[in-house]
Structure 1
Amino acid sequence: MRLSRANLSALTNNVARPAAQGVTNGRIVHLGIGAFHRAHQAIYTQDGSTPDDGWRITGVSLRSPAVRDALNPQDGLYTVTEQSNGVASTRLVTVIDNVLVAPENPEAVIAVLAAHDTHIVTLTVTEKGYYRDTATGRLLVSDPAIENDVRGNSPQTIYGFLSAALALRRRAGAGGLTLISCDNLSGNGTLLLNLLLEFLDGRDDGLAEWARGHIRAPDTMVDRIVPATTAADRAFVASAIGVEDAGAIMTEPFRQWVIEDSFAGPRPQWENAGAQIVADVAPFELAKLRLLNASHSTLAYAGLQLQYDYVHQAIADPVLRDFVVAQMAEAVPTLIAAPGLDARAYITAILARFANADLHHRLDQIAMDGSQKLPQRWVATVTERFAAGQASPCHLLSVAAWIAYTADAPAIADDPLQARYAAIWAEAAGDVPLAVQRLVGELGLFGPELRQCPAFIATLAGAVAAWQQDGPGVALRAATKADGG
């Protein structure tokens, strides 16, 4: 028996159910619906709704029909199971009412974005979904998908869909929108709005000027570890809840959402569900990027080369754990002090979360799209410390581990620059310093301070060579000692 509204009575009593929702005051459209959104923003929206102030979510998959096929036959219902140290608790989520697949029905996506009762658009489209040129920070206008949308063809990117919907909203007097990026990008709301306006500025109908007066895009910080659900997870959930759930999500108890107080219209009372509505997200965002996300990437690239598959396995390696702790200590002086932000306590919590063996968080999942993540997670810290005359042995070795990882480009996790890695390593023909020089100089991931510093490039090349020759364990121990660990 499959989960659905008709089969709710078959759920076991240990499944927590939400209070009945009466009035629906607004709609959220989520672009890029996946496991993270369903374990994070959807939970906050459900918990922030009341019988008198309810909200619904329409999900949009920009590529695959998998989530639609999992949720729509279940009337949008699914369960979220929190696991930690052998204890599991499961709750029912009912806030999603429909999932659309954009390539199959772009008109339906545009219509729901333009609807009068839609006030908010949330996004989890990953870093590459913003089509940002990492070298300039501008819109990647040369990308074929952007070129397609600029020509006004059936949309393929978030900008094409938003542009078409905003034109309809302006014409119908439907009002503006709050666009909320939930991706791990520095200043994600500001970035999204700037790129959207750059896209709209190419039109000659004044839509960009209208958008400037009607669109808000608050910066946010999101945090929750949500591994990909496996067949074994779904079998575990089915045995626990009494029905099959094709949309089952497994996650940790921890969750965090910090949102800048900048909205274009109505919104759910997310703060009632534990979200923090603040004047400045930057200190929280920076701490997450440079402590949690940076450590995640380190565990991914080093851990995979140490033959680990999961985060909890990698952090259980004492050498790798000591290295990660030393790397976080390196980053702490670059953080912004803020009330309620205790770096030492945050690091302790991060290590405990990583060690949760109940969450099978795959390292190759974290390793995906490395070129889009590393500038914020590692390179910015190295650059700041470099400008202050400070060495960053742990961060530099993490970069070296990633570079060594790219040497096997055909076998690595998906990355938009994968073909470039393969070409550079092939043309270098075993010359590591040459490969490193080209990777630093040609990919747009490093600023001029580092690109134009021969000493930095030489040191990095030496670290890559040592990693490849001596092995990860020796290199990690050496860097930890160099950092004072």
Structure 2
Amino acid sequence: MAEWRERAAPHVRLPGYERGAVTPKIAHFGVGNFFRVHAARYLDDCLHVPGQTDWGIIGIGVLDSPQSRAKAAAYADQDGLYTVTEYAPDGAATARVIGAMIDYLYAPDDPAAVVDTLAGPNIRIVSLTLTEGGYFQDQTTGTFDAAHPDIRADVQSTAPRTAFGMIVAALRRRRAGGVAPFTVLSCDNLRGNGDTARQAVVGYAAQIDPELARWIDAELSFPNSMVDRIAPSVTPAIRDRVNAATGLPDALPAIAETFSQWVVQDRFSAGRPRLDEVGVELRDDVALFEAVKGRILNASHMLLAYPAILAGHRLVHDAMADPRFPLLLRRFLQLDVLPFVQGPAGLALGTYIENTLERFGNPAVGDQLLRIAADGASKIPTFHARTTELLLHNGADPIREAFLLAAYRRSLRGVDEHGQRFDVTEPALNAADRDLLGGTDPLDALKATPFAALRLWEQPAFIDAYLAMVDSIDDEGIDAALRRT
């Protein structure tokens, strides 16, 4: 910390608390960009509140990859410190050093150390950012997938490797030792993320000890929460630009927009930091916030990403500067979403929509369309299934939802309409689904696991719109298809 204090540019905000006095009550799985600019930033604010220095964070890495290993080494070299630079729509930037993470454990090297830490009485909250596809949900039934190879391997091992395996192993020891359970707090972008986390933890526990599963279900809190902040990936060029501005040798700087929102149910079984004093909204109507954000912001992101990539765009603000895409999103939001969504008290949906589109157009953030498009097999059903169901149930035109699936199917080829190749990241697709999505019959794509639950092949209105969009994209290109939306 001393070196960073000496080297930081004058405008960089440094921790105003004594970092050596911080102790950890929070362990977090998945210390990626979003967590670092969102929950960790709120918790860093909490550490500045008098009497809150025992709410530090122990980060936990789970993925076994060269990139994850390099990240662990960087956190060790930097003593858990990193910078967050926030960009306003006018390009104004503010930077700060986050000091809330006081230790980092890399589970692939020592999973027992992770279980030991979680089993100790000091940990009161275990939080998660595992991505939408990281909760081992069966994509057809929505239930916990106990047959997943990673889960089966964990259950049969004495050294679990998944986050849920380590959490359950720690809870088993806490229960046996008479130590009160911690709260499990999902910070992932999922509807009912606390309920989903409960399903995964209890479902895993049921595979090894049904009585333990019943105890977890009865005693643990799993608050639902709504999280919202755009956190782009940081390329080497962005890293160099940020470090030149801050004066700091940060191997893992993070960037974000200035907007940030966190709405959480106040259901913590073992205490919590004073989140309400640092801008977190503690409310019971989280589900309404989730519905609005998922079906407006996240759904718009997905609808934008695939056709914009096919049209040759790579950055969100560049796509939003192309008048075809704001028009597409406005029509989607006005015709397909607003008639069927209820907002929480005090939230004006029209204003929310305008703010969302303004955020997408922020050129200073430089968000990447490929980041948004990644793992579409998990994200599209999460953010579009309900809207599609309501449109079909009410006899409304499903043309834009059909366009989304047609564009998604075409994007899996990894080549845009200018012949430029791009990376396709779809970890949730199995070989059978890839065959269905890449086959010659476009209707087969509707039977792929991510979309099968909707049974769209039984909906004549959807089939007609979808086939028309497939033909339009294939024969005439994205521009012609956009004109039909």
User: Normalised by the shorter chain, which TM-score bucket?
Assistant: over 0.9
Find out whether 1:440 has 2:451 as its counterpart: no
What is the Cα deviation at residue 8 of structure 1?
A: 1.7
Where does residue 413 of structure 1 map in the other structure?
Answer: 425
**Size of the alignment, in residue pairs?**
470
Rounded Cα–Cα distance in structure 1 between residues aligned with 2:73 and 2:2: 16
Paired letter, 1:346? Y
Structure 1 length-normalised TM: 0.92
C-alpha change, 1:57 and 1:411, in structure 2 (3 Å) is closer
Correspondences of 1:279-298 after superposition (within 5 Å): 279-298=284-303
What is the Cα deviation at residue 46 of structure 1?
A: 1.2
Rounded Cα–Cα distance in structure 2 between residues aligned with 1:418 and 1:294: 23
Where does residue 228 of structure 1 map in the other structure?
Answer: 233
Correspondences of 1:21-420 after superposition (within 5 Å): 21=18, 24=22, 26-49=24-47, 50-54=49-53, 55-63=55-63, 64-84=68-88, 85-204=90-209, 206-329=211-334, 330-408=336-414, 412-417=424-429, 419-420=431-432
Q: Match of 1:389, SS?
A: coil
Rounded Cα–Cα distance in structure 1 between residues aligned with 2:445 and 2:69: 36
Native 8 Å contact 2:433 2:449 kept in 1? no
C-alpha change, 1:317 and 1:421, in structure 2 (3 Å) is farther
What is the Cα deviation at residue 70 of structure 1?
A: 1.9
What is the Cα deviation at residue 424 of structure 1?
A: 2.5
Native 8 Å contact 2:292 2:343 kept in 1? no
C-alpha change, 1:107 and 1:474, in structure 2 (3 Å) is same
What is the Cα deviation at residue 418 of structure 1?
A: 5.9
Rounded Cα–Cα distance in structure 1 between residues aligned with 2:436 and 2:24: 50
Q: Match of 1:382, SS?
A: helix
Paired letter, 2:50? P
Rounded Cα–Cα distance in structure 1 between residues aligned with 2:200 and 2:482: 39
Paired letter, 1:51? P
Paired letter, 2:56? R
Rounded Cα–Cα distance in structure 1 between residues aligned with 2:170 and 2:280: 28
* Larger CA deviation: 441-450 vs 269-278: 441-450
Q: Match of 1:307, SS?
A: coil
Q: Which residue of 13, 16, 21 maps to 1:19?
A: 16
What is the Cα deviation at residue 243 of structure 1?
A: 2.4
What is the Cα deviation at residue 204 of structure 1?
A: 3.4
Paired letter, 1:72? A
What is the Cα deviation at residue 415 of structure 1?
A: 3.2
Rounded Cα–Cα distance in structure 2 between residues aligned with 1:16 and 1:171: 44
Deviations 1:390-430 (A, max 9, x none): 2232222122211222345995223321634542255x4x3
Identity of aligned residues (%): 33
Paired letter, 1:75? D
Rounded Cα–Cα distance in structure 1 between residues aligned with 2:286 and 2:405: 27
Q: Match of 1:201, SS?
A: helix
Native 8 Å contact 2:398 2:465 kept in 1? no
What is the Cα deviation at residue 319 of structure 1?
A: 0.7
What is the Cα deviation at residue 158 of structure 1?
A: 1.9
What is the Cα deviation at residue 379 of structure 1?
A: 2.3
C-alpha change, 1:349 and 1:425, in structure 2 (3 Å) is closer
Native 8 Å contact 1:407 1:425 kept in 2? no
Give 5+ residue unaligned stretches, structure 1: 480-485
What is the Cα deviation at residue 355 of structure 1?
A: 0.9
Rounded Cα–Cα distance in structure 2 between residues aligned with 1:32 and 1:195: 16
Paired letter, 2:35? H
Correspondences of 1:418-437 after superposition (within 5 Å): 419-424=431-436, 428=439, 430=440, 434=441, 436-437=442-443
C-alpha change, 1:142 and 1:418, in structure 2 (3 Å) is closer
Paired letter, 2:28? H
What is the Cα deviation at residue 141 of structure 1?
A: 2.1
C-alpha change, 1:225 and 1:274, in structure 2 (3 Å) is same
Find out whether 1:464 has 2:476 as its counterpart: no
C-alpha change, 1:408 and 1:241, in structure 2 (3 Å) is closer
Native 8 Å contact 2:378 2:450 kept in 1? no
Q: Match of 1:202, SS?
A: helix
C-alpha change, 1:452 and 1:392, in structure 2 (3 Å) is closer
Rounded Cα–Cα distance in structure 1 between residues aligned with 2:129 and 2:255: 18
Where does residue 483 of structure 1 map in the other structure?
Answer: none
Native 8 Å contact 1:122 1:179 kept in 2? yes
Native 8 Å contact 1:177 1:214 kept in 2? no
Structure 2 length-normalised TM: 0.92
Give 5+ residue unaligned stretches, structure 2: 416-421
* Larger CA deviation: 275-284 vs 336-345: 336-345
What is the Cα deviation at residue 219 of structure 1?
A: 0.8
Deviations 1:6-58 (A, max 9, x none): 44222222111232148657511110111111100001111123231221101
Rounded Cα–Cα distance in structure 1 between residues aligned with 2:268 and 2:385: 32
Rounded Cα–Cα distance in structure 2 between residues aligned with 1:66 and 1:322: 42
Rounded Cα–Cα distance in structure 2 between residues aligned with 1:419 and 1:361: 30
Rounded Cα–Cα distance in structure 1 between residues aligned with 2:184 and 2:112: 20
Native 8 Å contact 2:285 2:344 kept in 1? no
